[in-house]
Amino acid sequence: MIVNTLNHPLAASKLALAIQGALLAMAAIPPLAIAADDDLNTLTHPTNSVELGVGGTSVDSAKFGEYNGLDKSGANVIGNFDVRGGDAYDQSGGTRRWEVQGDDLGTTSREIRGTVSNQGQWNLGITYDELRHNISNTYQTPLIGSMGGNSFSLPADFGTVNSNYKDGVAFKQGAQALTSTQLQAFHVTDVHTDRKSTGLTAGYMIDRQWGLKFDYNHLDQSGAKLMSVASDSDAGGPTGTRGGGEVE
């Protein structure tokens, strides 16, 4: 007796599953091929990009912009770029590559770097980046001088602070004893520190076992921070004794 298995329900269901699996496999092949082509294009045809935009900050904030350079209100122009080239691309037979990149240009957290190399033989690279640490944007002082400098002076008409000034029955000390002219001399100063880093790298392959590598980094830190110093705020005070205090 001959049995036609195509008419058997179980055999028919297995055949349908096999056909569906084959169709799914065929449908999955094109995306995989496209992904492989994209990877190949990335390696042989680099994508260069330049970005330029405007960012807006609503209010001044030293803490919000502590490490991103957006501490001042208003518009900020921000730029990024990534440019690559060399005969190692396009399968032209060479092995040289170069690349220049920049991030967050226009802010105090900018970074730029560049590299050039001959694959398997030598390489050269340079980097530069900045980072600002904001401490305060509301600090007030009567002193005149540049941020991070070593010389500060009071205005010519500031005069001396009369720590024995008495208003009624109470002696006035510190800021309470300042005159209107002295109070007007106070101005808001941004207090911050800046870190600027420059790096240089180089390498040369002598053979498969030996190679030379050079790394150089220069770190420059400048700015100012708030410090407390002792002062005689009660010299010649009402009790005739000398007392110590601290001022910023």
pLDDT tens digit sequence for 206-235: 998 899 999 999 999 888 877 766 555 444
pLDDT band for 23, please (50, 70, 90 cuts).
low
Indicate whether 72 pLDDT > 50: yes
pLDDT band for 128, please (50, 70, 90 cuts).
very high
Find the mean pLDDT for residues 21-31.
Answer: 59
Indicate whether 241 pLDDT > 50: no
Indicate whether 248 pLDDT > 60: no
Find the mean pLDDT for residues 135-152.
Answer: 82
User: Which tokens sit at 117?
Assistant: 């190399």
Return the pLDDT at 222: 86
Give me the long-range contacts of 233-238 (CB less than 8 A, separation at least 24): 233/163, 233/173, 233/174, 234/163, 234/173, 235/163, 236/163, 236/164, 237/163, 237/164, 237/171, 237/173, 238/164, 238/171
Return the pLDDT at 16: 65
Residue-range domain boundaries for the chain = 1-44, 47-247
Using a cut of 0.85, tell me whether the model's pTM lies above it: no
pLDDT band for 179, please (50, 70, 90 cuts).
confident
SS3 state at 62: coil
Return the pLDDT at 233: 47
pLDDT tens digit sequence for 87-112: 877 666 788 889 999 999 988 889 99
Find the mean pLDDT for residues 110-129.
Answer: 94
The residue assigned the tokens 């050079």 is 214
Return the pLDDT at 247: 43
pLDDT band for 239, please (50, 70, 90 cuts).
very low
Question: Residue 94: which residues within 8 A CB-CB, separation 6 or more?
Answer: 86, 87, 88
CA–CA distance, 235 with 91 (Å, rounded to integer): 83
Question: Residue 202: which residues within 8 A CB-CB, separation 6 or more?
Answer: 122, 123, 124, 125, 213, 214
User: Which tokens sit at 222?
Assistant: 């400048």
